[in-house]
Amino acid sequence: MRAELLKNIRAAEPYVPGEQPRNKVIKLNTNENPYPPAPGVGRVLREMDADCFRLYPDPTAGDLVNALADFYGVGEDQVFVGVGSDDVLSLCFLTFFNSGRPVLFPDITYSFYKVWAGLYRIPYECPELDENFRIVREDYYRENGGIIFPNPNAPTAIYEELDFVEDILSHNRDSIVIVDEAYVDFAGRSAMELIDKYDNLIVVQTFSKARSMAGMRIGYAVSNPELIRCLNNVKYSFNSYTMSQAAIACGVEAVKDREYFEQGVRRITETREWAKEELAKLGFVFPDSKANFIFARHPEHDAGELFEKLRADGIFVRHWNGEKIGQYLRITVGTREEMQTLFDFLKKELG
Ligand code: PMP
């Protein structure tokens, strides 16, 4: 293309999602849930009258907001919903990281943060994790234009207790701190319980992991009413109808079924604990996972080669190149049977 045309076009370096193969494979590469969503979700879909799609959906997604507010015991004005937490997080970047000062997030973390910062021209700095892949809290004591980190972090799967989160919040009273809790249901306490105490806190969660609904695209933020209003103002300056009728109705059903949700989380965490033992027996080393994936390396086998061999056998895991993480594989916790197939293959392969 001609340079004169190109120079005024917004350039973006996009996020690269994990592969979504359409044939039958063992899919342990994008941290999806191997079990179906709550039974009510299927029922609502089957009973849905397509005529409802004639009309625009409720722009506030009020039914879903109410269901989440009930579930977490917060006000309806404290919940914001979006098209997956990627949508919510990208709107958070646009809304809250507007000071011109660098936003801080770890050097090894969810790679979409860099993409949004680049797209919106937000300056950022990435303090290094320590040698055990832990976030160093003192690195977040300096002046900044906002802070974001996942807890548990991705792809390390390491969870920090709430006193750690609170320490970062209390050292940054004048900055917005976003805690991306995509995987917190598999880990421990959510920072949501700190919302009344810290007016600079936003907690973001998703239906894609513990609620088994990655394909429906639902994410949400919980914060104080003022910050939620700011987020809504930006959303309504962008697209009023982000949530489809189907997403709103299915989301409500998923939230209502607390028992199914808790049982599903238990099933994944039990499989994860067993998978850690099996991986250790095979000689893998990994930080202690509190998520629905394990970030593991084998001291004697090249991760890139293992990744390719697994892939050729129809077992998909995730691998990134890079100096610090190039020898690691990120393995999603699937069903016990899927994990057994993985371990059988690895046993053969590693000899
Ligand atoms: N945050 C983190 C840390 C993630 O790993 C993911 C999943 N790729 C997301 C957010 C986004 O998930 P979703 O848009 O499906 O809610």
Which of 235, 257, 279 is the last residue before a domain boundary? 257
From the alpha carbon of 154, which atom of ligand 1 is closest? 3
Answer yes or no: do 168 and 311 share one domain.
Answer: no
Q: Determine phi and psi for 80, rounding to 5 degrees.
A: -125, 135
In short, whether 208's Cβ falls inside 6 Å of ligand 1 is yes
Same domain flag for 11 and 58: no
- Residue 242, domain CATH: 3.40.640.10
Is residue 22 pLDDT above 80, yes or no? no
Q: Give the distance (Å) from ligand 1 centre to CA of residue 212.
A: 13
Is residue 66 domain-shared with residue 177, that is, in the same domain?
yes
Q: 85 in ligand 1 pocket by Cβ < 6 Å?
A: yes
pLDDT range class, residue 31, cuts 50, 70, 90: very high
Nearest alpha carbon, ligand 1 atom 8: 30
Q: Which of 33, 87, 110, 111 to mutate to test the pocket of ligand 1 (most atoms within 8 A of CB)?
A: 110
At residue 210, does pLDDT exceed 80? yes
Task: Enter the tokens of residue 202.
Answer: 């936003």
Which of 86, 89, 289 is the pocket-test mutation for ligand 1 (most atoms within 8 Å of CB)? 86
Per-residue pLDDT at 21: 80
Q: For 117-169, what is each residue's pLDDT tens digit? A: 999 999 999 999 999 999 999 999 999 999 999 999 999 999 999 999 999 99
pLDDT of residue 5: 85
Q: Which amino acid is at 76?
A: E
Domains in the chain, number:
2
pLDDT band at 351 (very low <50, low <70, confident <90, very high): confident
**From 180, 181, 203, 207, mutation site for ligand 1 pocket: most ligand atoms within 8 A of C-beta:** 180
- Percentage of the chain lying above the pLDDT 90 cut: 92
Radius of gyration of the chain from its Cα atoms, rounded to whole angstroms: 21
Q: How confident is the model at residue 174 (pLDDT cuts 50, 70, 90)?
A: very high
pLDDT of res. 11 = 87
Residue 216 clears pLDDT 90, i.e. is over it: yes
- Taking residue 60's Cβ as centre, other Cβ atoms within 10 Å add up to 17
Instruction: CATH number of the domain at 324, please.
Output: 3.90.1150.10
**CB 32 near ligand 1, within 6 Å:** no
Q: Are residues 138 and 278 in the same domain?
A: no
User: How many CB atoms lie under 10 A from the CB of residue 58?
Assistant: 14
Nearest CA to ligand 1 atom 6: 182
Both 29 and 126 in one domain: the answer is: no
CB 105 near ligand 1, within 6 Å: no
Q: CA 269, 271, 276: angle at the middle one, nearest 5? A: 95
Q: Is residue 317 within 6 Å of ligand 1 at its C-beta? A: no
Q: Is 198 in the pocket of ligand 1 (CB under 6 A)?
A: no
Q: What is the pLDDT of residue 142?
A: 97
H helix or E strand, kind and range, residue 255 = helix 245-256
Amino acid 266: pLDDT: 98
Residue 331 Ramachandran class (φ > 0 left, ψ -120 to 50 alpha, else beta): beta
34 C-beta closer than 6 A to ligand 1: no
| φ and ψ of 331, to 5 deg | -110, 115
Question: Which of 211, 227, 257 is the last residue in one of the domains?
Answer: 257
The reply to whether 240 and 230 lie within a common domain is yes
31 & 134 share domain: no
Interval 42-51: pLDDT, tens: 999 999 999 9
Taking residue 105's Cβ as centre, other Cβ atoms within 10 Å add up to 26
Banded pLDDT at 235 (limits 50, 70, 90): very high
CB-CB contact of 158 with 152 (8 Å): yes
Residue 286 and residue 234 share a domain: no
CA of 271 to the centre of ligand 1 (A): 21
Is the beta carbon of 180 within 6 A of some atom in ligand 1? yes
Taking the C-alpha atoms of residue 265 and residue 41, their distance in angstroms, rounded to an integer, is 17
Does the pLDDT at position 8 exceed 90?
Answer: no
Question: Which of 197, 133, 211, 122 is CA-nearest to residue 167?
Answer: 197
pLDDT confidence bin for 6, thresholds 50/70/90: confident
Q: Does 56 share its domain with 181?
A: yes
Statement: residue 308 has pLDDT above 80? yes
Reported as a pLDDT band with limits 50, 70 and 90, residue 17 is: confident
Q: In terms of domains, do 173 and 24 share one?
A: no
Pocket of ligand 1 contains residue 84 by CB under 6 Å: yes
Q: Give Cα 75 to chain centroid, integer Å.
A: 23
Q: Read off the DSSP letter of residue 297.
A: B
How far apart (Å, rounded) are the C-alpha atoms in residues 342 and 309? 11
Confidence class for position 19, pLDDT limits 50, 70, 90: confident
Are both 190 and 271 inside the same structural domain?
no
Give the domain extent around 221.
39-257
Mean pLDDT, the chain, whole residue set:
97
User: What confidence tens digit (pLDDT) does each residue in 54-101 have?
Assistant: 999 999 999 999 999 999 999 999 999 999 999 999 999 999 999 999
Do 160 and 273 belong to one domain?
no
Q: Which residues contact 181 (CB under 8 A, 6 or more apart)?
A: 150, 151, 190, 191, 203, 204, 205
Residue-wise DSSP of 104-161: E--SSS-THHHHHHHHTT--EE-PPP-TTS---GGGGSS--S-EEEESS-TTT-----
Q: Which of 257, 280, 306 is the last residue of a domain?
A: 257
Confidence of residue 286 (pLDDT cuts 50, 70, 90): very high
